[in-house]
């Protein structure tokens, strides 16, 4: 156990980074966030995927409560990074990019934007809106062409180098933050609040949508939520919060086990379930957990 409040252990072998991220990940953004993309693409074929549209869903209040509180949001970013990157330093991931061999092309950035699922294309388009002529803008045609496939055509080493160089640009960092919030954070937190969930529940939803995508099939976020609601009522429906969250985690664990890469479900078992069993519905430090066998702790609010 490391004694620094925000220090992670050295990386150890673990499942590939976010292997369950789905080609159909954008299917239910409109359902969750009041707008956005509406198509789903089954499988990993070569049909182009429409980029996920940045939604008009209101962000949780800037000074907000729950996971919208800046301190709790920082904790959420560190918790996700412990599972995705074996590190609490999520800000070091702006420059991350590689093909992890999951059929989705390049996976990159703080949330794992993929060249094959549309959200990387949407990110670079947003970056170019903010800063025309940036070093990634010239790759927009290639990103449009490879969308829906695992192809590197028109990208390759030059694109990887350009991505890492762009990651030093604060405008690109902000663009990544914007896309994370628009497609993942705001929809999941708003849905959790609508379901009557507190800070821990909001984080549980956010981590699920990051890994599984905001689709509506049985192993995407929307489907996992529907499965949980068949077993327990949400607090907004008059149910017990802990009972419902246990049902949600059970449903998520079952979804994870549909892929061999997710036989290790420790981000549920020894992270989120640990906080829930402790009754820490506010996600208050000190927090101690394990993911893929590595131990982490956050002793104080960031």
Nearest to 182 by CA among 6, 17, 39, 32: 32
Residues with active-site annotation: 84, 102
Which DSSP letter does residue 151 get? -
Contacts of 222 (CB under 8 A, 6+ apart): 27, 28, 31, 32, 214, 215, 216
Task: Find tokens 């490391």 and name the residue.
Answer: 2
Which DSSP letter does residue 54 get? P
Nearest to 78 by CA among 168, 203, 188: 203
Letter string b/e over residues 248-259, b meaning 16 or more CB atoms within 10 A of that residue's CB: bbbbbbebbeee
Nearest to 90 by CA among 101, 98, 81, 99: 81
Which DSSP letter does residue 196 get? T
Phi, psi angle pair for 291, to nearest 5°: -135, 125
Helices of type H across the chain: 29-33, 70-85, 119-130, 140-146, 156-166, 170-180, 186-194, 199-212, 221-231, 241-256, 266-267, 273-277
Q: In what order do the strands lie in the sheet with 106-108?
A: 97-99, 106-108, 113-114
Phi, psi angle pair for 247, to nearest 5°: -65, -40
Q: Are 21 and 213 in contact (CB under 8 A)?
A: yes
């Amino acid at each position: 156990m490391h004694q620094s409040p925000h220090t992670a252990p050295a990386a150890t072998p673990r499942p590939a980074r976010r292997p369950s991220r789905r080609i159909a990940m954008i299917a239910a953004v409109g359902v969750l966030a009041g707008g956005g993309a509406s198509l789903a693409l089954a499988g990993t074929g070569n049909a182009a995927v429409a980029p996920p549209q940045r939604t008009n869903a209101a962000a949780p209040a800037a000074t907000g409560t729950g996971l919208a509180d800046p301190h709790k949001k920082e904790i959420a970013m560190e918790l996700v990074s412990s599972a995705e990157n074996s590190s609490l330093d999520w800000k070091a991931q702006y420059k991350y990019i590689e093909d992890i061999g999951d059929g989705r092309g390049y996976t990159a950035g703080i949330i794992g934007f993929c060249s094959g699922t549309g959200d990387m294309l949407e990110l670079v388009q947003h970056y170019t809106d903010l800063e025309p002529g940036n070093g990634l803008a010239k790759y927009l045609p290639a990103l449009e062409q490879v969308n829906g496939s695992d192809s590197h055509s028109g990208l390759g080493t030059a694109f990887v180098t350009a991505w890492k160089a762009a990651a030093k640009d604060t405008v690109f960092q902000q663009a990544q933050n914007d896309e994370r919030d628009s497609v993942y954070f705001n929809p999941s937190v708003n849905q959790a609040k609508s379901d009557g969930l507190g800070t821990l529940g909001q984080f549980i939803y956010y981590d699920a949508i990051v890994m599984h995508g905001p689709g509506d099939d049985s192993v995407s976020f929307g489907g996992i939520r529907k499965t949980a609601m068949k077993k327990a009522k949400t607090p907004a429906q008059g149910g017990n919060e802990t009972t419902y969250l246990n049902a949600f985690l059970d449903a998520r664990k079952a979804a994870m086990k549909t892929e061999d890469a997710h036989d290790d479900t420790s981000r549920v078992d020894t992270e989120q379930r640990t906080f829930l069993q402790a009754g820490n519905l506010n996600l208050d430090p000190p927090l101690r957990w394990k993911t893929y066998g590595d131990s982490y702790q956050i002793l104080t609010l960031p």
